Amino acid sequence: MKAPALAAYALLGLPLAMAMLPIYVLVPNFYAADLGLGLTLTGTVLFLARLLDTVQDPWLGRLIDRRSARGWNLLLASSAVLLSAAMAALLIPPDSLGRFALAGWLGALLALTYTLHSLINITYLAWGARLSDQPEIRTRVAAWREGAGLIGVVLASVLPTALATRYGMSTALGVFALTFAVLLCLGGAMLLRAAPRPQRVARSDAQSWRLPLSNGAFRRLAGVYFINAVAVAIPATLALFFIADRLQLATLTGLFLALYFVSGALGLPIWTRLADRLGKRRSWRLGMLTGCAAFIWAVLLEPGSAWAYAGVCVLSGLALGADLALPPALLADIIPPEQRDSTAAYFGLWSFLAKLALALAGLALPLLAWVGYQPGSQAAWNLALVYAGLPCLLKLVAARLLTSLPCGDPTP
């Protein structure tokens, strides 16, 4: 599969990855502080919306599998238009709403945005898994998609913050909503018009979202993926606290995040080529171990260690490429040919595990409180251990379990 075809498929990954960072990071503060909704009401609405987002993905996967190829096209096109409108309404709410009406607006738009994003994302992942039966092609498809996604994350990290500093948060979110809509519609159009078509399979009316659970290889891979996803989500949850309170370098937060994600994008071709030589399973395990070796040094960093932490960001970011490209390619490999009509069901459960891992990583905050850390104070070893030590321990467990996974390696 040539680069133009891969690029036509991958482009949609940019706005899809771009969407979630403002919703998770900027929207809570915007509604709670700028719009006056308050922490308690905002937090309650966010919890309920995220709970819905977590549990609905397996059923959405089943719904997608029941659609024909034409149905996929219609689903993607309509969902992209609706998601653009929902994102704009979420980020640019009416001025005249009362407090409880604003809470209702936030809850309804979050639920709609989460659902539409999941519909597009699961269909998009299933599309990529059905592009080829050749394992090496699947790895390249995943690498191109995740590379575009990392560009989207960097853009979402930089654009709102830069605009907010100069024009205010309301204007920044409005510009972001417009940029997102243009990129989403462009990516959807490229996918539908220029990307390779997914292989057509016979549809089954007896599908169930539980079908992937009958696949032993999926259960083992899902277990490894979930443990590793929690290991990745914990540092993502605690990064701002670590940079501000342990390193006391809050002004360099944007630079550190950019170094990490850009390094992840640069590392994707390395892991793709390595997977061709060693196999996906061995390469992913090597990526986990490399990530541990690079990231564990964060435990030892003292306040003001800007250059040392930048090195940690670069090296662990390079290892991130393995976590992004290889697991979805491994998942595509283990779906039996007779279950190709249930590809979206597999990725629906996969998405559920990713979101569950993110939710579970939130428990790192009460764990920090239990060991005596308070935000805003100069942090000692307790924050560093939870931020870097615990994720490395989980990655070692995942790497050990991955050793017994009989897929993704070339036949001797």
Residue pLDDT, tens place only, 305-359 = 999 999 999 999 999 989 988 998 898 888 888 777 778 888 888 888 988 887 7
Cα–Cα nearest to 111, from 23, 174, 12: 23
Phi, psi (5° rounding) for residue 204? Answer: -120, 130
- In one letter, which amino acid is 227? I
Checking if the pLDDT of 392 tops 60, the result is: yes
Range(s) of the domain holding residue 389: 208-407
Cα–Cα nearest to 327, from 166, 142, 103, 197: 142
Residues 314, 343: one domain?
yes
Q: DSSP letter at 301?
A: P
CB 80 within 8 A of CB 188: yes
Residues 60, 184: one domain?
yes
Give the Cα separation of 221 and 216 in Å (integer): 9
Please tell me the predicted confidence (pLDDT) of residue 296. 93
Model confidence band, residue 236 (pLDDT cutoffs 50, 70, 90):
confident
Q: Of the residues 128, 161, 195, which one is the last residue of a structural domain?
A: 195
Residue 399 lies in a domain: yes
CA angle 141, 147, 150 (to 5 degrees): 145
User: Rounded mean pLDDT of the chain?
Assistant: 85
254-284 tens-digit pLDDT: 788 888 988 988 898 899 899 888 889 999 9
pTM for this one? 0.79
Tokens representing residue 314 in the block: 């670069």
CB 261 within 8 A of CB 273: no
63-103 tens-digit pLDDT: 888 877 778 899 999 999 999 999 999 999 988 788 889 99
Residue 137 lies in a domain: yes
Helix 253-278 / helix 306-334 crossing angle, nearest 10 deg: 40
Checking if the pLDDT of 203 tops 60, the result is: no
Give the Cα separation of 184 and 20 in Å (integer): 13
Tokens representing residue 186 in the block: 């462009």
Average pLDDT estimate for 169-196: 91
- Based on its alpha-carbon atoms, the radius of gyration of the chain, rounded to whole angstroms, reads 21
Residues 155, 268: one domain?
no
300-323 in b/e form (b: 16+ CB < 10 A) is ebeeebbeebbebbbbbbbbbbbb
Q: Of the residues 195, 216, 248, which one is the last residue of a structural domain?
A: 195
**255 burial level (CB within 10 Å; 0-12, 13-18, 19+):** middle
**234 burial level (CB within 10 Å; 0-12, 13-18, 19+):** buried
Checking if the pLDDT of 119 tops 90, the result is: yes
Give the Cα separation of 274 and 261 in Å (integer): 20
Please tell me the predicted confidence (pLDDT) of residue 76. 93
Residue 201 lies in a domain: no
- The rounded Cα 217 to chain-centroid distance in angstroms is 23
Q: Which CATH number covers residue 222?
A: 1.20.1250.20
Residues 25, 157: one domain?
yes
Checking if the pLDDT of 187 tops 50, the result is: yes
Please tell me the predicted confidence (pLDDT) of residue 379. 58
Residues 219, 162: one domain?
no
Please tell me the predicted confidence (pLDDT) of residue 337. 80
Residues 120, 36: one domain?
yes
372 conformational bin, left if phi > 0, alpha if psi -120 to 50, beta if neither: left
Please tell me the predicted confidence (pLDDT) of residue 312. 94
| C-beta neighbour count of 365 within 10 angstroms | 15
Residues 122, 221: one domain?
no
Tokens representing residue 296 in the block: 């564990």
Number of structural domains in the chain: 2
Specify which of 4-18, 67-81, 355-369 reaches the highest per-range mean pLDDT.
4-18
Average pLDDT estimate for 33-60: 81
SS3 192: helix
Please tell me the predicted confidence (pLDDT) of residue 351. 86
Please tell me the predicted confidence (pLDDT) of residue 406. 62
Q: Of the residues 168, 195, 222, which one is the last residue of a structural domain?
A: 195
Q: Which of 18-32, 116-130, 292-306 has the lowest mean pLDDT?
A: 18-32
Top pLDDT among 1 and 345 is at 345
Checking if the pLDDT of 205 tops 60, the result is: no
Please tell me the predicted confidence (pLDDT) of residue 96. 79
Average pLDDT estimate for 174-185: 94
